[in-house]
Amino acid sequence: MRYAQIRKCDVANGKGIRTSLFVQGCTFQCKGCFNTDTWDFEGGRLWDESIEKQFVELTGKPHIAGATILGGEPLHPANCECVTRLAKRLKSEYPEKSIWVYSGYCFEELAERESEIFEYIDVLVDGRFEQDKKDLSLRFRGSSNQRVIDIKKTLEEGRITLYME
């Protein structure tokens, strides 16, 4: 896996102060995307054990509410295994920290092919960004078709449950 950047104190991509990992590579290439430099799977830098260790340590700081993984497309098949491993490690080392993932895939698409990630994440912001549905008043998402899903409640209740602050 490759990554574009790590933000040590991100307040835009999830609740509270967070560490954020911008994964490299996306095939959706949504019109109006705010992060086009993350589309190329060969761009950015190589993710390795030392970078992962640094990211995990940053997330463990007392003022950090949790980690957010976005991109690019973190749940693209080329990235999903590494992202799942990272989420598992974060949840193991810091179970009190929340893990958010932003994906252009809808929950239903992911549930058909990849469910292990759901064991470790708390919130999934799903759906492709749609320029014609852009709404700057929305919290934690860019367009009205996207959902902010409480994964734990969704799995418990057996139906999509939206995250409520």
Confidence of residue 113 (pLDDT cuts 50, 70, 90): confident
φ/ψ of 10, rounded to 5, equals: -105, 125
pLDDT at residue 165 above 80? no
Token pair 């490690």 in the structure block, residue: 89
pTM of the model: 0.97
**Structure tokens given for 136:** 């700057």
pLDDT at residue 44 above 80? yes
**Structure tokens given for 27:** 């095939």
Confidence of residue 140 (pLDDT cuts 50, 70, 90): very high
pLDDT at residue 40, as a whole number: 98
Could you tell me the domains of the chain? 2-157 (3.20.20.70)
